[in-house]
Amino acid sequence: MGSITGRGAGSRGPICTRKADGPAQVYWQALLTGDRAVVAEILSDTQNNLGPNAVFDTSDLEEWKNYRFNIRRLRLWSLSYEEELTAPLHITASRGYTDCLRLLLLRGANVNFAPGGKTALHEACAAARTDCVRLLLGSGADPEAVSEDGYRPLHLCKSPDSIQCVQQLLQHGASVNSRTEEEEDTALHVAARHGLTDHVQLLLRHGAELEAKNEEGQTPLNAACAQPHQPQDMDRYHRVCQLLVESGASINAADRDRQHPLHLACKNANAQVAELLLARGANVNIMNYSGNTALHNILQAAAYKLEHHPELVVRTLLNYGAVRIWPGSLLKVLRYCHACPRAVEALINSYAHVRVSEDWADAVPAAVVQKYPRFYQSLFSLGQRPRSLQHLARHTLRTFLEGRLLLVLSQLHLPSALHRFLLLSFEDVLY
């Protein structure tokens, strides 16, 4: 593991608690608020033993919340159960107080001091304080310093605002393919996992390894597909995956559990990513160690991902030739997916006939039937009537073209309504 300078007890002065009276408390408050004048006054007083490398114990932060600072950014690695240590350089760097930071450096602050296991550069990168990162690097901060928990500064650039921090680190010699100590993530894994398009582009331009595998066996593409995300972030993750795939990332790279990118994208109900992977040749029917295909994954996740529109994933998989669920298991699927009737619709429309019994009606809560009466009434009525001739013709053509449906349809120049119908367009009713 790389080293952190200035961490030993011999490199620091006495530990100050925030509850101390007098200059120590004044110094602490000035650092929190970025009051350069007070900081300068404290540093000029040689009698108070509060130099630029003073160490503060930040345990028990509750009473300081009214200063409106981010507690997580202040907390550092604990040397004991009681101590959580930080220093003036870390406090100012994490809050973007460049004037105070410059003053501390001019007064002899150790730029690589790490009393709590992280350097000020780690803190500045985690907080996306670009100006502070630039100042610290220009003052000799080590861009490859490894924190006590095994992270280099580059691994802490996890927000969109940290893109310029990444640029500064790379310009000052940070290794683009360095790994975290425990997870074995590269910076590209981190950027992909957080859906950071600009970061991914920048790291790829600097030679980031596309197929580097972390401790779980994930490539950056796997990491992007595996990361749960909100509906509003689906486009962002699609762009990240698109960048990785267009740069040559393997679409069928499996992690230690034999989860492929498609399995992971379907767990997260991202239809855009699933479509991207399938269009590039991902195996729609490959199984993971649990014996699940991508279709199994989306059906299991549908009830928890309603806002992601899981029905789009179900339809996409079926149109790319996913092996359908054994008909005897459709009742079980209904119990899982009744809250997403369009997913049920797409699945039911992939069969010529289904055997609907009274158990099907019992499997759907009355509140769900009341919410989607037209669809569920049409579903339950399939027990008493055959499917329409129109549906049977669709099923026959889809069966004949299985495995090449999309390729053939793209060449037939069919009317758009017929094209959509053949690709299982949603009608919210079964015929």
43 forms bridges with which residues in the sheet?
A: none
Model confidence at 137: pLDDT above 50: yes
Let me know: does 300 contact 310? Beta carbons within 8 Å: no
Six token digits for residue 74: 């202040």
SS3 for the chain, per residue?
Answer: CCCCCCCCHHHCCCEEECCCCCHHHHHHHHHHHCCHHHHHHHHHCCCCCCCCCCEEECCCCHHHHHHCCCHHHHCCCECCCCCEEECHHHHHHHHCCHHHHHHHHHCCCCCCCCCCCCCHHHHHHHCCCHHHHHHHHHCCCCCCCCCCCCCCHHHHCCCHHHHHHHHHHHHCCCCCCCCCCCCCCCHHHHHHHCCCHHHHHHHHHCCCCCCCCCCCCCCHHHHHHHCCCCHHHHHHHHHHHHHHHHCCCCCCCCCCCCCCHHHHHHHCCCHHHHHHHHHCCCCCCCCCCCCCCHHHHHHHHHHHCHHHCHHHHHHHHHHCCCCCCCHHHHHHHHHHHCCCHHHHHHHHCCCCCCCCCHHHHHHCCHHHHHHCHHHHHHHHHHHCCCCCHHHHHHHHHHHHCCCCHHHHHHHHCCCHHHHHHHCCCCCCCCC
CATH 1.25.40.20 maps onto the chain at 1-140, 210-323
Model confidence at 10: pLDDT above 50: no
Which CATH code of 3.40.50.300, 1.20.1560.10, 1.25.40.20, 1.10.540.10 fits the domain covering 1-140? 1.25.40.20
Which residues are within 8 A (CB) of 247 and not within 5 positions of it... i.e. 6 or more apart? 204, 210
User: Quick one: fold of 210-323?
Assistant: 1.25.40
Q: What is the pLDDT of residues 209-266, one digit of tens each?
A: 999 999 999 999 999 999 999 999 999 999 999 999 999 999 999 999 999 999 999 9
78 forms bridges with which residues in the sheet?
A: 84
* Residue-averaged pLDDT of the chain: 90
pLDDT at 176: 98
User: 49 pLDDT band (50/70/90 cuts)?
Assistant: confident
Q: What is the pLDDT of residues 95-118, one digit of tens each?
A: 999 999 999 999 999 999 999 899
